């Protein structure tokens, strides 16, 4: 337990620094949008705000045009003894910050940590996580902003996460780990960051290494923050009620072609277009398209970055055909309707491949690859302030996101760029969040059914990193085919927010997971306690 003891000392030390460090005014920017500790979401989903909620991460300079971000945190999360600098530093402020007012320069530094211990009761397994890090963010002038963070981690996990890490060679959303064999401990690290520049009133350019999300739900079938971070360049323009974003990304496939000759992992590229239009004060429609291609094709020809896709105003499918390249092109739609200040409906539909004549036939052709999402979210339900509920249904057909060439699959670092379950599944997820002052309660119930791939040489459509040339049938493909598996997850947590600047909180929770099919049943009863900062979304509900 030396890891945990050292982590506890580190947490106390960081808390001490938070209380006594020097103070200068600064403005905060953040790359992350943690869904549990998001205090401004209901302000963005009010009729008439015309905020483009489906494009994340949010830019705080745009949020502040609608509502004052810092004011909400200060007024709604009460600060005891606010006149005393000690309490202000401990409960509300940054560890280090510097502002040069005449030149409009702001720099902020805060610690990041997660000191967690847990117990998986069924197997009697003790777990822990020891995370140390920091982030720095700020702006130089009114148009240039930056963010950078670093996480260094060690940990042991419940058995289903441990099994996933062994099978996929990646910890969910956190990259490729190294294992200390004698103690079954994973060692892993992650660094993200970006620089952002506003070119006038309408244009923003961002160069970074991180994650992106398109959608209004808990999940996204278009582009999500599920996998590990990746290098990207992003161009965004806002005018009237329209937001248009194009994202160029470099992605990694964690399977070496010939390890004895080249130890590097294969590279692939992705380009993502998204056009979001706010129609009136309540309805939004977003058009999405993406293309994925390998830097080196199946014949060994090195393509590198294909400049056919560099044009930000072009449809991918005609370009793909004209270039004679069998790349993986997806198209989709994201929509939301703000029914009232307390209720919003949202949804998505995504097409990987389809043929119109087969789409409406009854033969269930394998290449009719699509998925859809339907959901709603509430705010201050039944008049109870800060009682929010989100419920959504996701369904994805077999072979969606996969490709004949596995390097062209819609994934990065052995995880899907969309839903963590991959394809060939249906899912219903319900999430409750309630906040009273600094106390946060979160509950989640997730029920899913999927068809498991249980033979290496045959694909039933769930594993997106398996070639769809291995499909077991051309027709009669239905959701749940293969080894029919039921998945149930129930999770609840209680946390107390100490500092909203880096979401420093003390939390405890329980997770119950049951996965069963004809061959096996895997159960997890997991309780945990943590002292942590919670800026990131990490998805363990799969």
> Tens digits of per-residue pLDDT, 77-135?
555 544 446 666 667 778 888 888 777 888 999 999 999 999 998 888 999 999 999 99
pLDDT band with cut points at 50, 70 and 90 for residue 539: very high
Indicate the pairing of strand 105-120 with strand 178-180.
unpaired
CATH of domain 2-533: 2.40.160.10
Q: For the ranges 37-41, 246-250, 423-427, 534-538, which has the lowest average pLDDT? A: 37-41
Distance of CA 519 to the CA centre of its chain: 32
Contact 15, 21 (CB under 8 A): no
Residue spans of alpha helices (H) in 252-339: 316-323
Find tokens 């080196």 and name the residue: 296
What does pLDDT average to over the chain? 86
pLDDT band with cut points at 50, 70 and 90 for residue 6: very low
Domain definitions of the chain by residue range = 2-533
pLDDT at 35: 82
| Number of helices and strands in the chain (H, E) | 8, 24
DSSP 171-236: BTTTB--EEETTTTEEEEEEEEEEEEEEETTTEEEEEEEE--EESSSSS-SSB-S-S--EEEEEEE
- Measure the CA–CA gap between 83 and 13, rounded to whole angstroms: 24
pLDDT tens track for 451-477 = 999 888 899 999 999 999 999 999 999
- Measure the CA–CA gap between 411 and 419, rounded to whole angstroms: 10
Rounded to an integer, the average pLDDT of 316-343 is 79
pLDDT at 85: 61
Res 258 pLDDT > 90: no
In the chain, % of residues over pLDDT 90: 63
Q: Which of 14-23, 248-257, 452-461, 516-525 has the highest mean pLDDT?
A: 516-525
Tell me 195's DSSP state: E
pLDDT at 27: 36
Find tokens 């289903």 and name the residue: 160
Largest CA distance in the chain: 71
pLDDT tens track for 200-211 = 889 999 999 999
pLDDT at 194: 93
Contact 66, 145 (CB under 8 A): no
């Amino acid at each position: 337990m030396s890891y945990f003891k050292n982590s506890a000392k580190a947490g106390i030390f960081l808390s001490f620094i938070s209380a006594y460090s020097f103070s200068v005014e600064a403005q905060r920017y953040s790359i992350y949008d943690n869904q549990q500790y998001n205090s401004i979401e209901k302000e963005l989903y009010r009729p008439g705000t015309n905020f483009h909620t489906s494009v994340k991460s949010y830019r705080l300079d745009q949020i502040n045009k609608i509502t004052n971000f810092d004011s909400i945190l200060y007024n709604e999360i009460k600060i005891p003894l606010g006149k005393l600098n000690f309490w202000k530093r401990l409960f509300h402020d940054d560890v280090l910050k510097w502002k040069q007012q005449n030149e409009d320069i702001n720099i902020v530094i805060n610690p990041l940590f997660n000191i967690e211990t847990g117990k998986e009761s069924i197997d009697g397994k003790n777990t822990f996580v020891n995370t140390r890090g920091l982030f720095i963010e700020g702006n130089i002038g009114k148009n240039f902003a930056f963010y950078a963070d670093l996480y260094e981690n060690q940990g042991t996990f419940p058995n289903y996460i441990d099994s996933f890490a062994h099978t996929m060679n990646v910890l969910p959303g956190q990259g490729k780990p190294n294992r200390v064999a004698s103690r079954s401990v994973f060692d892993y690290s992650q660094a993200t960051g970006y620089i952002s520049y506003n070119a006038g009133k309408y244009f923003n350019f961002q160069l970074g290494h991180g994650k992106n999300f398109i959608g209004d739900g808990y999940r996204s079938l278009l582009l999500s923050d599920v996998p590990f971070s990746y290098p990207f360049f992003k161009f965004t323009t806002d005018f009237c009620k329209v937001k248009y974003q194009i994202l160029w990304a470099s992605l990694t496939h964690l399977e070496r072609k010939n390890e004895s000759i080249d130890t590097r992992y294969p590279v692939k590229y992705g380009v993502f277009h998204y056009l979001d239009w706010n129609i009136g004060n309540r309805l939004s429609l977003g058009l999405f398209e993406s293309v994925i291609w390998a830097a080196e094709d199946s014949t060994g020809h090195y393509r590198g970055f294909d400049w056919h896709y560099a044009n930000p105003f072009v449809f991918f499918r005609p370009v793909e055909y004209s270039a004679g390249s069998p790349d993986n092109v997806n198209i989709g739609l994201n929509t939301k309707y703000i029914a009232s200040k307390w209720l919003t409906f949202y949804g998505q539909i995504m097409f990987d491949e389809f043929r119109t004549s087969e789409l409406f036939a009854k033969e269930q052709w394998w290449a009719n690859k699509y998925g859809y999402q339907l959901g709603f979210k509430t705010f201050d339900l039944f008049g109870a302030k800060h009682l929010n509920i989100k419920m959504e249904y996701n369904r994805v057909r077999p072979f969606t996101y996969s490709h004949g060439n596995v390097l062209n699959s819609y994934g990065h670092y052995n995880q899907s760029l969309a839903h963590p379950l991959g394809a060939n599944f249906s899912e219903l997820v319900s999430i409750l969040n309630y906040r009273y002052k600094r106390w946060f309660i979160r509950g989640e119930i997730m029920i899913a059914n999927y068809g498991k791939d249980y033979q290496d040489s045959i694909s039933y459509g769930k594993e997106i990193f398996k070639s769809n040339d291995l499909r077991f049938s051309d027709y009669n493909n239905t959701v749940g085919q293969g080894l029919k598996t039921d998945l149930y997850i129930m999770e609840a947590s209680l946390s107390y927010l100490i500092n909203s600047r880096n979401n420093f909180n003390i939390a405890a929770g329980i997770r119950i997971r049951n996965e069963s099919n004809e061959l096996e049943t895997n159960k997890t009863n997991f309780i945990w306690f943590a002292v942590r900062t919670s800026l990131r979304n990490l998805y363990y509900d799969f």
